[in-house]
A and B are shown apart, each in its own frame.
Chain A
Amino acid sequence: MDNIYARFTCRLIDEHLVPDSTQLTSNDHICDMSDTQATVCQILEQQKAGNYILVVTDSPDICNLVLAFNPTLKDHKISVMCNDELYADDAIDEFDRLEKLLHTESGIEYFPAKEIEESLFEAENGQILFNCTDIYARSDENTQLLYMSDGQLWGYVLPYTAAHLIGTLHNHLESLTLSDRTSVAVAVVNFFKEKHLSDSIFLFKTENGPAIQPVGVPTICSGKELYVLLYEIYFGHAPSKDRMLSLVEDRMNHAEYPTALFEFFECAFADKIYPGLSCKTATLDLLEHTLHRMEWFTTKEV
Chain B
Amino acid sequence: MIDIKTFNTVGYTITGRRHSSMGKDNEDGYEVFEDDRLLALCVADGCSESPCAKAASEAVLKALIEFAQGDIWEMKTKQIKTSVLKVIDKHLLAAPYEYRLLACTCALVIYNKLSDSYIALSIGDCQALVMTEELEPKQLLAPVNIFRHREHTVFANSSMAANAMKVEIGSASNIAGFILVSDGAEGLCEPANADDLIQLSSVCAISANHAQTALEGHVSNVIAPATNDDITVLMTMRSDSDRITNIAKATCNIVIETDADEDDEAVSEYMLDEDVASDSTLDTDNSAESETSSAILNFLATPRTAEELVVAGYCIPSEVLSYIYPLIKEGFVVYDDYHFSTVKGG
Contact = CB atoms under 8 A, between A and B. Distances in A.
B158 A263 contact: yes
Contact of A263 (B85, B307, B321, B336): B321
B5 interface: no
Interface string A258-302: 111111101100100111110100000110011011001101100
Given A276-B307, A290-B159, A263 B319 contact: yes
B219 to A, nearest CB: 32
B85 to A, nearest CB: 8
Given A270-B317, A300-B93, A263 B328 contact: no
Interface in B251-310: 306-307, 310
Interface residues of B, number: 32
Interface residues on A, range: 20 to 34
Nearest to A268: B318
Interface string B157-196: 1111011000000000000000000000000000000000
Given A260-B100, A261-B159, A248 B93 contact: no
A244 interface: yes
B159 to A, nearest CB: 4
A127 to B, nearest CB: 38
Contact of A270 (B90, B318, B321): B318
Interface in B310-329: 310-311, 317-322, 325, 328-329
B323 to A, nearest CB: 10
Most buried by B among A260, A275, A299: A260
B335 interface: yes
B89 interface: yes
Contact of A277 (B98, B311, B329, B337): B311
A251 to B, nearest CB: 6
B317 A273 contact: yes
A299 B90 CA distance: 10
Given A296-B90, A300-B93, A300-B99, A260 B321 contact: no
Contacts of A273: 306-307, 317, 320
Contacts of B86: 292, 296
B321 A248 contact: yes
Contacts of A277: 307, 310-311, 317
Contact of B159 (A242, A267, A296): A267
Contact of A245 (B157, B162, B335): B335
A259 B317 contact: no
A296 B90 CA distance: 7
B99 A258 contact: yes
A55 interface: no
B62 to A, nearest CB: 16
Nearest to A264: B159
Contact of A244 (B89, B93, B321): B321
A212 interface: no
A53 interface: no
A275 B163 contact: no
B319 A266 contact: yes
Most buried by A among B89, B318, B338: B318
B307 A275 contact: yes
B158 A251 contact: no
Interface string A68-104: 0000000000000000000000000000000000000
Contacts of A248: 321, 325, 328, 335
A262 B322 contact: yes
Interface in A156-200: none
Contacts of B310: 274, 277
B159 A293 contact: yes
Contact of B318 (A263, A297, A299): A263
Contacts of A285: 162
Interface string A225-263: 000000000000000001011011001100000111111
A229 B322 CA distance: 22
B162 A244 contact: no
Contacts of A286: 159, 162-163
B322 A263 contact: yes
A287 to B, nearest CB: 9
Contact of B160 (A252, A261, A263, A299): A263
28 contacts: A244-B306, A244-B321, A245-B336, A252-B328, A258-B98, A259-B157, A259-B159, A259-B322, A260-B158, A261-B159, A262-B322, A263-B318, A263-B321, A264-B318, A267-B160, A267-B317, A274-B317, A277-B307, A277-B317, A279-B318, A286-B159, A286-B162, A289-B82, A289-B162, A292-B86, A293-B85, A293-B89, A296-B93
Given A266-B319, A276-B307, 5 more contacts: A258-B99, A262-B322, A293-B85, A293-B157, A299-B93
